[in-house]
Structure 1
Amino acid sequence: MKTNWMRMTVSALAICASSSLAFGQGMDELIAAAKKEGQLTTIALPHDWCGYGDIIEGFKAKYGIAVNELNPDAGSGDEIEAIKANKGNTGPQAPDVIDVGLSFGPSAKAEGLLQPYKVSTWDTIPDSAKDAEGYWYGDYYGVLSFLVNTDIVKNVPKDWPDLLSDELANSVALAGDPRVANQAIQGVFAAGLSGDKGDIAKAGEEGLKFFAELNKKGNFVPVIGKSASLAQGSTPVIIAWDYNALSWRDILKGNPAAEVVVPKTGVVAGVYVQAISAYAPHPNAAKLWMEYLYSDEGQIGWLKGYCHPIRFDDLAKNGKIPADLLAKLPPADAYAKAVFPTVEQQNANKEVISKQWDSVVGAEVAK
């Protein structure tokens, strides 16, 4: 009873304390309050991930607020545990904000670990990628793409069925083991939505059938595809998140020439979400951080790191994305058909794919 009462009390206080700009708090007042707190504590934000290094520096330069960075290499679960472990702590080990995988948003809300806040650009965030009450909201996403060594592959595949071409014998790899790695699992899931298939409930089964056919045909290479294996020619086509594929393409510097393709169908998006801790020691700095991240400036910062910002369609529609940056990306309309599976849909298909890969596809993926 005491625990439940505490959670209810924290939730109630959070609602009162986290009034968004829409509730009357002006930006000038928020900036002043955040500067008075003087610090923001983040966690699990590597500088080479999604452009976070430049984003953090941009925030500090714009507002003159120090950023205390906890454990850049932490995972989503670690972030949640950090909130739990520091409920009564206002010191430097208590995170103000988190950036976690989609499934952690709803579960953290249910545990009373988050406080609601709706940024001023709230209406431009797709409804399917945010909590209606503002407890968590999508920040950026990737879609499954094909990274293609065009020195070897002359007819670049444009959609999933193209991977079955005779020209791609011993060519196609996943960027992970689909029995355990989310990137690979989502690759199988996306294949299951390709062509005229559109039933998310059956995508896991259909994806396994597709990879069984790919394997039987001899096109599937049962190793974990990486930039090195692409360059060596052992995996001329790798199925990976577009932000990884685009980064690998840049690392290769044209040796070999590589192209990143978002398939015409079966475009599946993997979303990360932002949230403010219910126990944030610096709640106003946390709100200001969110305003910065969801501003045009912050969203383009993520895009520079090849993570598609959640407001991408809105930015593209209004001509806000620099031309030189757009030139580095697949065409903007390639993302228009992106499917954003719910947590429940992801979990259901993950169960099917990870447990039935061996029996249906029968390919032992080597590291």
Structure 2
Amino acid sequence: MSRSSLGASALATLIATVVCANTASAEDLAAIEAAAKTEGMLTTIALPHDWCGYGGVIESFKKKYPDIKVNELNPDAGSADELEAIRANKDNKGPQAPDVIDVGFSFGPAAKKEGLLQPYKVSTWDSIPENVKDPEGYFYGDYYGVLSFVINKDLVKTAPEDWADLLKPEYANSVALAGDPRASNQAILGVYAAGLSAGATGAEAIGQAGLDYFAKMNKAGNFVPTIGKAGTIAQGATPIVIMWDYNGLSARETLKGNPPVDVVVPKTGVVAGVYVQGISAHAPHPNAAKLWMEHLYSDEGQLGWLNGYCHPIRFNSLAAENKIPKDLLDALPPAAAYEKASFPTVEDQDASKAVVTAKWDAVVGANVK
């Protein structure tokens, strides 16, 4: 069905018939694509181009659907900011209202509970593991990685090997998180990982132990209250940044040896994080949002995450079908680095997040920005 052949009444009927949560069929996809082209825009939020290969993923979507403009909002926003953007724009159909979100695993159930998401099951739904998707289709995992230390080798001569090392005097004024731990899922899990490394058990206790760890780091003068990224690593403002392995590997590639960058997965407290996708319940362009999800969960979209050094959520399915190029596998850290990885449950993440976000200011006292 061409864009020009779709009348107003037909469009209304079409949109009404493609909003169901059942797994999309080929007929559904054709209808969704036609409606999405009529909408003509997709509004995303919090998608830095150097995060998990998003730059390439967005470009491949544009190439596939040139009739749909991609409107990108606030690439440096955290997961909490994404949910706030939906709340703030629920009655606004303008360009500041996001259609889709990409948030940390624990933010998915919270967004569903609050009524911020609408259900939709992509056509590859069955190959997404059950434990990382909402059974009704409100949110679903898309990729994961592990937290690592990303290091400017020009400034840090001896790379830290574990969390305890970061408290040493030699790392004075050197260590940063890649987000604000009061809002960023990546930073919150960084605190969680530190607590796990300290030997704490139970989500709330792990969160508290992580806060105590960062309080020690801040008191020692090692913590830098600046959101770390490739630019701050290169400038020397944050010589060591705690961030996802895929972001660190992407930064290393982007900086091209100027300065040389090392990416170290710690020996203990190895925490894996799953990020989930969802469609706003108030999306101005709901069919473009569905088409975007279909793109992300297609073989092409999933391999796009591997290009960005991420493990796609359909990794096992793609590997079983021999669809993963060897060069993409070889670019990832050795499999041994992931052997001790812990995948916190949504419940654990919720419990630790509540502790970290509520107590960071009182316990650590560093205003990260």
Name the TM-score class by shorter chain. Answer: 0.7 to 0.9
Residue equivalent to 1:9:
none
Offset, 1:131: 0.4
SS of the residue corresponding to residue 222 of structure 1 reads coil
Residue equivalent to 2:28:
30
| 1:207-246 equivalent positions in 2, closer than 5 A | 207-214=210-217, 218=220, 220-224=222-226, 225-231=228-234, 233=236, 235-246=238-249
| 1:269-288 equivalent positions in 2, closer than 5 A | 269-277=272-280, 286-288=289-291
Matched, 1:55 2:57: yes
Q: Distance in 1 between matches of 2:137 and 2:182?
A: 34
2:298 to 276, 292, 295: 295
SS of the residue corresponding to residue 224 of structure 2 reads strand
| 1:108-119 equivalent positions in 2, closer than 5 A | 108-112=111-115, 114-119=117-122
| 1:61-72 equivalent positions in 2, closer than 5 A | 61-62=63-64, 64=65, 66-72=67-73
1:121 to 104, 119, 124: 124
Q: Tell me the amino acid that sits aligned with residue 84 of structure 1.
A: K
| 1:85-164 equivalent positions in 2, closer than 5 A | 85=91, 97-112=100-115, 114-164=117-167
Q: Deviations over 1:175-201 (max 9, x none)?
A: 345456554333221111126544323
Change (3 A) 1:14 1:210: farther
Offset, 1:147: 0.5
Change (3 A) 1:316 1:221: farther
Q: Distance in 1 between matches of 2:361 and 2:259?
A: 33
Determine if contact 2:61/2:295 at 8 Å carries over to the other structure.
Answer: yes
Determine if contact 2:48/2:55 at 8 Å carries over to the other structure.
Answer: yes
SS of the residue corresponding to residue 238 of structure 1 reads strand
Q: List gaps (5 residues or longer) in structure 1.
A: 1-12
TM-score, scaled to structure 2: 0.73
Q: Tell me the amino acid that sits aligned with residue 222 of structure 1.
A: V
Q: Tell me the amino acid that sits aligned with residue 270 of structure 2.
A: V
Change (3 A) 1:57 1:302: same
2:82 to 68, 72, 76: 76
Q: Distance in 2 between matches of 1:250 and 1:83?
A: 36
Q: Distance in 2 between matches of 1:212 and 1:284?
A: 46
Offset, 1:244: 3.4
SS of the residue corresponding to residue 211 of structure 2 reads helix
Change (3 A) 1:174 1:95: closer
Offset, 1:254: 0.7
Offset, 1:43: 1.7
Q: Distance in 2 between matches of 1:123 and 1:284?
A: 21
Determine if contact 1:192/1:210 at 8 Å carries over to the other structure.
Answer: yes
Overall identity of the aligned pairs, in %: 58
Change (3 A) 1:132 1:179: closer
Residue equivalent to 2:42:
42
Determine if contact 1:68/1:92 at 8 Å carries over to the other structure.
Answer: no
Q: Distance in 2 between matches of 1:249 and 1:43?
A: 29
Change (3 A) 1:313 1:264: farther
Q: Tell me the amino acid that sits aligned with residue 133 of structure 2.
A: K
> Larger deviation: 165-174 or 240-249?
165-174
SS of the residue corresponding to residue 147 of structure 2 reads strand
Q: Tell me the amino acid that sits aligned with residue 34 of structure 1.
A: I
SS of the residue corresponding to residue 22 of structure 2 reads coil
Offset, 1:235: 4.2
Q: Tell me the amino acid that sits aligned with residue 43 of structure 2.
A: I
Matched, 1:352 2:365: no
| 1:324-339 equivalent positions in 2, closer than 5 A | 324-339=327-342
SS of the residue corresponding to residue 349 of structure 1 reads helix
Q: Tell me the amino acid that sits aligned with residue 157 of structure 1.
A: P
Determine if contact 1:164/1:219 at 8 Å carries over to the other structure.
Answer: no
Determine if contact 1:146/1:263 at 8 Å carries over to the other structure.
Answer: yes
Q: Distance in 1 between matches of 2:343 and 2:17?
A: 29
Change (3 A) 1:121 1:149: same
Determine if contact 1:114/1:276 at 8 Å carries over to the other structure.
Answer: yes
Determine if contact 1:144/1:187 at 8 Å carries over to the other structure.
Answer: yes
SS of the residue corresponding to residue 158 of structure 1 reads coil
Q: CA RMSD in A?
A: 3.9
Q: Distance in 1 between matches of 2:298 and 2:362?
A: 47
Q: Distance in 2 between matches of 1:364 and 1:108?
A: 28
Q: Distance in 1 between matches of 2:237 and 2:61?
A: 42
Count of aligned pairs: 344
Q: Deviations over 1:107-147 (max 9, x none)?
A: 44335554433334334323332102222112234432100
Offset, 1:204: 1.1
Change (3 A) 1:214 1:293: same
SS of the residue corresponding to residue 84 of structure 1 reads coil
SS of the residue corresponding to residue 31 of structure 2 reads helix
